[in-house]
Amino acid sequence: MDDSILEQVRTVLIDTLKLDAAAREWSGDAPLFGSVPELDSLAVINVVTAIEDRFGIHIEDDEVSGELFATLSALADFVEAKTRARR
């Protein structure tokens, strides 16, 4: 995985969910959905929109799942795959 994408996805989460500085230390295996109180079902929509804007990709509704938001790495891997497919 591209560390730059992991960092950018982390930044999107921090900015969108207004997380504190501790989130900057999250490793790739940091659990998200179900573990981050700010990341509820409504916040997922905002995060998806922010990711689409940041990376210039489109995420289909049927691609959004609990597995996608299981960990920071899972989300970053997905974003990386979508950005590669766009090229």
Kindly report, residue by residue over 24-64, the tens digit of the pLDDT: 999 999 999 999 999 999 999 999 999 999 999 999 999 99
Q: How many CB atoms lie within 10 A of CB 14?
A: 17
pLDDT above 90: residue 86: no
Please report, rounded to a whole number, the percentage of residues in the chain having pLDDT higher than 90. Answer: 91
Q: For 3-86, CATH number?
A: 1.10.1200.10
What gap in Å lies between CA 48 and CA 50, rounded to an integer? Answer: 5
